[in-house]
Chain A
Amino acid sequence: MLQRKKKKKKKQEEQQERRSNRELYFTGGFFALLFAAMIGYYAYFVQAEGREMINNSYNSRQYILASQNIRGTIYSADGEVLAETLTDVEGKETRTYPYENLFAHVIGFSTKGKTGIEAEANSYLIQSSIPLSSKVENEVAARKHPGDNVYTSLRTDLQEIASKSLGVYQGAIIVSNVKTGEILAMVSKPDFNPETIVEDWEKYVENENSSVLLNRATQGIYPPGSTFKMVTALAYLRQFNGDYTNYRYQCNGSMTYGNSRITCYHGAVHGSVDFISSFAKSCNCSFANMGLNLDRDIYHDTVSDLGFNESLPVNFNYSKSNLTVDDGVSDEDMIQISFGQGSVQMTPLHLHLVTNAVAMGGTPMKPYLISQVESAEGEVVKTFKPESYKELMTAEEAATLTELMTAVVESGTATRLKGLEYTAAGKTGSAEYNKVKEDSHAWFTGFAPAEDPEISVTIIVEKIGSGGDYAVPIAKRLFDAYFGL
């Protein structure tokens, strides 16, 4: 009896205990989840940001690596050496750049801080992925390990043409493979010699106005001029659901609104124009008229969709393009904005990305410069694959813009590209940068072949004249070289 009672009591206790252990399971589960999240975050951090951590100039670990390994070599797509470290008999290391000024900005330098690919690929160049057996051999022979080599997508032939075409003028050129996003050439003028950067440094820094070290292709902020009509045209298409057939405008060569008076380039009178011919002939008055009648919200959204005031999908340094269109923008300002003057500021890289979006049916590839990293013994360390960026415009919008840009070549301001073995499409611009109306930057952005784009170019030549006269011929030279003509 007593035993029974005892047993019963024990059973009761057990039940009670089992119930109350629920909170213990809760406690265990709570911390298990917390730790799972933390370990997940840790794994993500190591995988995604580990390399970036090494590259931070505050991280002293990169200097340790640099003392163990010889900085790797940078190659062009056609296998030429663009930067390499030579060691003399005394063990003194010199970073040499066989092409001197030609790749100055895009490859950069590593002796006076790090810029360009020297900075972007730094964590690869200073690490050595050769097998352990080779490392042991080096260790025994008291040699430093060779760092990993970086293969870029840059082509020396296109780079040379681009650089020569700019000549003594300031400006920038970007050439890329539309289908992959690989950058084939990137030139910024004035340039410098990366081999002598340490000696020349004072000269560049002394003069505060000197912008020699600035990579104009990615960091130069310019008024885009008429090339920006691509954006205004896109906003128009969005407001009228892609239907532009009803658009008409009578151009007298100038237009007066309030206190401001605008003119077409060199006072040209375009007469009666529709949507396509306004674009092809680059009629400022027609676009001013268009801009005035566009809904500011739609315009603002279009500009945001294209990436103004926002980050671009690239791993190298660049500036953000700026433009805000809201209710605070006066009609006079809106007129200026609609053909790329006034408060519009854009980098050649960003314009290039928009052009690539048109060429790729609305979704451009992410621009990139590094295609592969290999160990000194030829083993692949990392391959960079083409990646799509987000959709900047719909396929229909891209098709209409392609139509407009083809008209620019066929019957507009870029007829120098007409009747060639390939078809091209693009937009010219002659951006005014000061009050003297005759001075302008020459712009061209476009691609070829128009029906199945492979190559795109964006060109700006500063203070030279009209885009049609000075930028389009450079595009032709680059296209010709690309197609082997």
Chain B
Amino acid sequence: MQYYIVELSKYAIAFLMVIYTLECFWILKRKEDNNRTGIFIRQGVEMFLIQFLAYLSMCLQTGQIEYLFFYAFLQIALFSTIVLYQMLYPAVNRLLVNNMCMLLSIGFIMLTRLDYAKAIKQFFIVVAGLILALIIPFLVEKLRILKHLKWIYGLAGVAALGIVLVLGQVTQGSKISYTIAGITLQPSELVKLIFAFFVAALLYKAKSFWQIMVSAVCAGIHVLILVASRDLGSSLIFFVGYLFVLLIATGNYLYFGAGILAGAGASVVAYYLFGHVRVRVQAFLDPFTVIDNEGYQMSQSLFAIGSGNWFGMGLYQGTPSDIPYVESDFMFSAIAEELGGIFAICLILVCLSCFFAFLKLSMRLQDNFYRLVGCCLAVMYIFQIFLTVGGGMKFIPLTGVTLPLVSYGGSSVLTTVMMFAIIQGLELIRYQEEPEDEDDEE
């Protein structure tokens, strides 16, 4: 009996995930409210079913009854989030609320399986984040002063990054975190949000070449500090985020092209300048010949993905813990191994549907400042996913960033929850701009 449940739930989870993902894209196309409500509720049911099956299967296999309690608390937290958002903000984007909860729950399933203690730790941070996230849309909507704080954003961002560079702890050869009062912070995560506001504030009225140069220099300072801290992944995310916002703000593909060229040139320089960049490139080009050293992590990630095949080995049937730093940097590979390739591809598509929802919202925003904030967050979000997922499967060299909402890491998950909340705030602003126009919008 137990065997049936464990084995069948594997296929049921993949099936539910496929349905959920299809509905994400279906909704992106739909307008009429009554039809959509049904789908949102169905998505919620699928989300809870997936978690139920996963936790049941884990509980049966390990005999750990406490997993079921954890499951119960998790459901309460997610369910309250979905309900409260709707009650507080009728204009909320329900697809994004669903997706946020879905990604969080996938992360919790995998984290419980990998390291239960970390799952509990993460749970408290997520709950705090979710509570904070209930207020943020209100703040974003009301605090119109946000438009005018550009130099405060700039200073705060540079200061936060600078402190890490000077005082930070070295992990894996990079200075990315520091500890205050026993809590380890990774400021580059939170600065992403500030950076989006900063770039938008600099560019939303910028017309002259001079203004654009100022914005480029300011963004460059952020990126350079991150490069100096050897936080390769974050520096790329900031760089690409800025580049796309610059394009959207100016409509000038020349700037965009010049930026790409500069980025490519900088990458070549970084390759020759930094040993850790060369190591990553070598592990990318041929992980198996250097499997004992540089290529170990990469090879193990590929083993995980390859062994998982399409339907996965099943929870607790694989060995994702063989991958060093699996719960922060290789969550995708762990998911691919135990939940399977179909599930993993759906996961990527769910993230992509969030990105499209961000963009769609930005398109409809009249106010250029908020429009640019939305774009910057969208690009930074999707590019981070590209870096971590593409890196894990050896599509691109590895940069070691988290999979937002899914990976273990307090700063990362907190930042992304807040990012989704800011987007909900933008949704409110859009609703105010044209509440009655909703139906004839494209």
Residues of A within 8 A of B (CB): 13, 17, 19-24, 26-28, 31-32, 34-35, 37-39, 41-43, 45-46, 49-54, 56, 58-61, 64, 132, 135-136, 139
Besides A31-B352, A35-B382, 6 more A-B contacts (Cβ < 8 Å) are A35-B352, A42-B344, A50-B305, A53-B303, A64-B318, A135-B3
Q: Which residues of A contact B305 (CB under 8 A)?
A: 42, 45-46, 50, 53
**B319 adjacent to A61 (CB under 8 Å):** yes
Residue tally, chain B, CB below 8 Å to A: 48
A residues less than 8 Å from B169 (CB atoms): none
A124 CB to nearest B CB, Å: 13
A39 CA to B349 CA, complexed, in Å: 9
Which residues of B are found within 8 Å of A24, using beta-carbon distances? Answer: 248, 359, 362-363, 375
A274 CB to closest chain B CB (Å) equals: 51
Q: By the criterion CB–CB under 8 Å, are B375 and A17 in contact?
A: no
B386 touches A31 (CB 8 A): yes
Report whether B299 and A45 are in contact in the complex, using a CB–CB cutoff of 8 Å: no
State the majority secondary structure of interface residues on B.
Answer: helix
A394-B287 Cα distance, complex, nearest whole Å = 39
* Residue on B nearest A46 in the bound complex, by CB: B341
Is A22 a contact partner of B251 (Cβ separation < 8 A)? Answer: yes
A31's partner among B288, B313, B355, B389 (CB-CB below 8 A) is: B355
Is residue B282 contacting chain A, with contact meaning CB distance below 8 A? Answer: no
- Asked if A23 meets B248 with Cβ closer than 8 Å, knowing A46-B341, A50-B307, the reply is yes
Q: What are 24 A-B pairs at a CB distance below 8 A?
A: A13-B366, A17-B366, A20-B248, A24-B363, A27-B359, A27-B379, A31-B382, A31-B386, A37-B395, A38-B393, A41-B393, A42-B341, A46-B341, A49-B306, A53-B303, A53-B305, A54-B306, A56-B299, A56-B303, A58-B291, A60-B319, A64-B318, A132-B4, A136-B3
B184 on interface, CB distance cutoff 8 Å? no
Residue ID in chain A nearest B307 by CB atoms = A61
Find chain A residues with CB under 8 A from B344 CB: 42
**A54 CA / B305 CA spacing, docked (Å):** 10
Asked if B37 is at the interface (CB within 8 A of a chain A CB), the reply is: no
Q: Assess whether B251 is in contact with A64, with CB atoms less than 8 Å apart.
A: no
For A38, the chain B residues whose CB sits under 8 A away are 348, 386, 389-390, 393, 395
Q: Which residue of A lies closest to B246 (CB)?
A: A23
Ranked 3 nearest A-B pairs via Cβ: A53-B306, A59-B303, A50-B306
Contact B386 A35 (CB under 8 A): yes
In the assembled complex, the CB of B403 is this many whole angstroms from the nearest CB of chain A, namely 14
Asked whether B309 is an interface residue with its Cβ less than 8 Å from the other chain, the reply is: yes
CB distance from B138 to the nearest CB of A (A): 26
Q: Which residues of A contact B341 (CB under 8 A)?
A: 42-43, 46
Do the beta carbons of A45 and B359 come within 8 Å of each other?
no
**Contact indicator per residue, chain B 298-314, by CB within 8 Å of chain A (1) or not (0):** 01101101111110010
Chain B 353-380 interface mask (CB, 8 Å, partner A; 1/0): 0011001001100100000000100110
How far does the alpha carbon of A37 sit from the alpha carbon of B291 in the complex, in Å?
26
Is B322 part of the contact surface with A, judged by Cβ < 8 Å? yes
A21 to B375, CA, bound (A): 11
Knowing A17-B366, A28-B359, A60-B319 touch, does A45 contact B247 (C-beta < 8 A)?
no
With contact pairs A42-B345, A50-B309, A64-B317 given, residues A23 and B3 touching in the complex (Cβ less than 8 Å): no
| B420 CB contacts on chain A under 8 angstroms | none
Q: CB distance A39 to B299 under 8 Å? A: no
Given A31-B386, A53-B306, A61-B319, A136 and B348 contact (CB-CB distance below 8 Å): no
CA distance A46 to B363 in the complex (A): 37
Contact of B244 with A by CB under 8 A:
yes
- Cβ contacts B385-401/A at 8 Å (1 or 0 each): 01001100111000000
Q: Establish whether residues B319 and A64, one from each chain, have CB atoms under 8 Å apart when the complex forms.
A: yes
Please name all residues of chain B whose beta carbon is closer than 8 Å to the beta carbon of A135 when the two chains form the complex: 3, 7
- Tell me the bound Cα distance from A309 to B357 in angstroms: 54
Q: How far is the CA of A19 from the CA of B368 in the complex (A)?
A: 13
State the CA gap A27–B251 with chains docked (Å).
11
CB of B129, distance to nearest CB on chain A (Å):
26
Contact with B303, one of A31, A35, A58 (Cβ below 8 angstroms): A58
A residues within 8 A CB of B244? 27
Q: Looking across the interface, which residue of chain A has its beta carbon closest to that of B337?
A: A61
